[in-house]
Structure 1
Amino acid sequence: MVSAMSYSALAEFGRTLLKRPTLQEGLPIISEYAKQVSGAERCSIFIYNPKIQMLWTTLADGAEKIMVHQDDGIVGHTVKEGKPILVNDPYDDPRFLAMIDQKTGFVTENIASIPIFDSTRRIIGVFQLLNKPGGFSREDAKFMIFFAHYISGYLELAMLFDDEAKILTKGVE
């Protein structure tokens, strides 16, 4: 059950996020809040570019930038299926990219992977929570779907803001 305090914390999170217009500023705030609320150890936010058919993390706790083709991994399957994927035993799931754990030294115990849709219902990204004690449940997925809707407008505007900033900077150079 969601308490009045939970709604108050969510509203405060929203106010804090709106003060950060760029992805670089906002994504760490989103990650920290998602981890705090879910109890997960890590949060990765992937941005999806359908033109090049790639997803990449602009934020991955404790890891360098990760790039994944849209056909690969749990994150790629999340884009393909357009719905949340919960995996509580990733090393037994053929979709799991164990090579990322090998590269980063992190051991993934469970994954919640949630698509993020823009205002036209196209997928613009995926956020993944990793390693929640006891694993992820359907209740977790319900909250994360709500949370993905909550942050989608911010992400859409921040990506537009970042694109415009790049265009303006190119004119100055």
Structure 2
Amino acid sequence: MSTPSTTLLRFLQEENARLQEENKQLREELAALRDYLDGLRLLQQEARRMTEEADLMPLLDKILYAALTVTDAADGSVLLLDPETEELVFAVVHGVIREQLVGYRIPKETGIAGWVVTHGSPLIVNRPHLDRRFSRQVDEQFGFKTRSLLCVPMIGSEGRIVGAIEVLNKFSGREFTQADQDLLMVMGYIAGSALEIVLNKFEAQ
């Protein structure tokens, strides 16, 4: 039979455990908020640099570098939509298979990037091999292993989809989050507008 003192002790222990768990959650949320704000500051800096860039390839490289930085991803690519062939072209690639993958083409409806470009919507896939939209083509052909990925469309000022940004495999091994997607979507709009300006200049020549 419990005495008043043991009941009080149990209550205090349970309350202490609850408060410790709440403090842990608050610390995690605060750390996530700091990471998000750091990402926004980086995006602001990169946006300024992108809008000043007049050449296509340096612009694409800056876009991808910023995308990998804000999402803590190890690998990634910028894919451009070729309207003449209806293909996605790996224009810039960072990571372990960058040399093999640059210039590689896939039909625009293929894989996660194809789905994103076709639907104009971002997509997080943290278990790609369980997702029917994921294409194993690149992994199998180049000996790569996609553990998780996040892909967003690059959308110009008039709503024209010019390509996609795809980041893969966080350094930490963690999953991509909604915060990662929100940051990368901002990057997608900035990059799409900057890229549209450069492409319009190129097409006008």
Length-normalised TM-score, structure 1: 0.84
Letter in 2 for 1:89: R
Q: Which residue number in structure 2 is paired with residue 29 of structure 1?
A: 62
The superposition leaves residues 76-114 of structure 1 with CA deviations (integer Å, 9 ceiling, x where unpaired) of 111222111111111222222212112222211111111
| Distance 1:95-1:20 versus aligned 2 partners, 3 A rule | same
Q: Which runs of 4+ in 1 moved over 4 A?
A: 5-8
Specify every segment of 5 or more residues in structure 1 that has no aligned partner in the other structure, as ranges.
168-173
Q: Which residue number in structure 2 is paired with residue 123 of structure 1?
A: 161
Specify every segment of 5 or more residues in structure 2 that has no aligned partner in the other structure, as ranges.
1-32
Q: Is the 8 A contact 2:154 2:161 kept in 1?
A: yes
Q: Which residue number in structure 1 is paired with residue 28 of structure 2?
A: none
Cα RMSD (Å)? 1.9
| Distance 1:75-1:31 versus aligned 2 partners, 3 A rule | same
The superposition leaves residues 50-91 of structure 1 with CA deviations (integer Å, 9 ceiling, x where unpaired) of 342211111122133221112211111112221111111112
1:69-84 equivalence runs, <5 A: 69-84=107-122
Q: Which residue number in structure 1 is paired with residue 71 of structure 2?
A: 38
Q: Distance in 1 between matches of 2:141 and 2:102?
A: 10
Structure number with higher helix proportion: 2
| Distance 1:104-1:40 versus aligned 2 partners, 3 A rule | same
Q: Which residue number in structure 2 is paired with residue 16 of structure 1?
A: 49
Structure 1 residue 134 and structure 2 residue 167: aligned?
no
Q: Is the 8 A contact 1:22 1:161 kept in 2?
A: no
Q: Distance in 2 between matches of 1:66 and 1:96?
A: 17
Candidates 82, 96, 101, aligned match of 2:134 = 96
Give the total of aligned pairs.
164
The superposition leaves residues 108-141 of structure 1 with CA deviations (integer Å, 9 ceiling, x where unpaired) of 1111111111122121111101112212112211
Length-normalised TM-score, structure 2: 0.72
| Distance 1:55-1:23 versus aligned 2 partners, 3 A rule | same
The percentage of aligned residue pairs carrying the same residue is 24
